[in-house]
Amino acid sequence: MSFTVTAFVVYISGYSYLISGTTAIIPVLNPVHRNVVSSRGSNVTLTCLGRRVNALDTVVLWKFNGQEIKESTHNIAVDKFLPKRKGTFSLHITNVSEKDVGKYTCIALVANFGKADRVEDIIDLKLYESVKWPRGTYAVPMPHSGCPVSMEFSWSEGYLRQNTEDSGPLSNWSSPLHLKGEKKDNEITQHFCVKTKKAGKTRWPAGSYCIYKKGKCPRGFREGWIKWDDEDTKNDNLASGVLPDGTFAKDTILYFCCRSDGSAETPIELPMREPFFLLKHSSSCQAVMGMRVTEEWLFWDCEDRENKNSYFGDIPESFMAKDIKLYYCYYEKK
């Protein structure tokens, strides 16, 4: 005697994942961890989609951190919709708070001659507010909106003004550009958010991206540097405040920490409340969970005479010749 197993698709912020779409005699238990990120105080709906559901013999229930959820829970409502053997099983949570953070399991039980077969999947609910900046000392480019707020530490700030070629100046930049600092055809100013204390529990996730070096590169990164040959005549470079590792004089050297131990397409988890930047390290910007990404760039028209631009080691995605172009990834909440 065989019957059809319910196949589940979990819908999470517009993505759909097929969990187990098989036909089998015994249901396949195929728990896949998925992540939903929400803001404190908002309403969130967690949904499991079923196919080939027989409304008559399928029972769906939800568990939160292993405990069965009763429909009466004050801020949680369970919902199901079963047209034509398809099933939409939802959990509506209102006014989400820290106590709702955790693992939600949707379970379908199918009566199979006295013994219940089941398929289930787990959805991991987090708050935007609950993800912290990774441990270590480092720096990231500052967006117009300033350094992202952190409860655990405060970013130090600094800025760097580079006087690029003055005769026939051609420095330019992408549009839009969310990098803080004035940009002119012969002058590029950048601001930095610098983490000078190791504070933090999490590690930078595997992926393909770069940050600026400040002290030792956090684990998993490899270091590199770029030297900009800035304007020689009446050089007007200026470095102020706390900056990433580098040399700031009439020419500029900046150090980077880069990694390519994961796919840029696989979303990584970083604090999602406010806009921030990473540096691009491969053909595409690293995907970050819950964030929309825009690629941006800066183009430095470097010294024309006896140009000494150079680089070493692992550096961000760039164009390096007598002029330098660097690519940045701007993240903002979806």
Q: Which residues bind ligand NAG (CB under 6 A)?
A: 41-43, 94-95, 97, 170, 172, 299
CB atoms within 10 A of CB 88: 16
Residue 100 vs 121, nearer CB to ligand NAG? 100
For the bound state, the minimum distance from the C-beta of residue 190 to ligand NAG, rounded and expressed in Å, comes to 17
For the bound state, the minimum distance from the C-beta of residue 230 to ligand NAG, rounded and expressed in Å, comes to 16
Residue 149 vs 170, nearer CB to ligand NAG? 170
Among 198, 173, 186, 180, which Cα is nearest to 140's?
180
> Where does residue 101 rank: exposed (0-12), middle (13-18), buried (19+ CB within 10 A)?
middle
For the bound state, the minimum distance from the C-beta of residue 69 to ligand NAG, rounded and expressed in Å, comes to 17
Residue 42 vs 266, nearer CB to ligand NAG? 42
Using only the alpha carbons of the chain, give its radius of gyration.
Answer: 25
Residue 76 vs 217, nearer CB to ligand NAG? 76
Among 183, 178, 172, which Cα is nearest to 301's?
172
3-state DSSP assignment of residue 286: coil
For the bound state, the minimum distance from the C-beta of residue 304 to ligand NAG, rounded and expressed in Å, comes to 12
Q: Strand 156-163 and strand 238-241: pairing?
A: antiparallel
Separation of CA 29 from chain center: 30
For the bound state, the minimum distance from the C-beta of residue 100 to ligand NAG, rounded and expressed in Å, comes to 9
Cα–Cα dist 320/226, whole Å: 9
Residue 94 vs 260, nearer CB to ligand NAG? 94
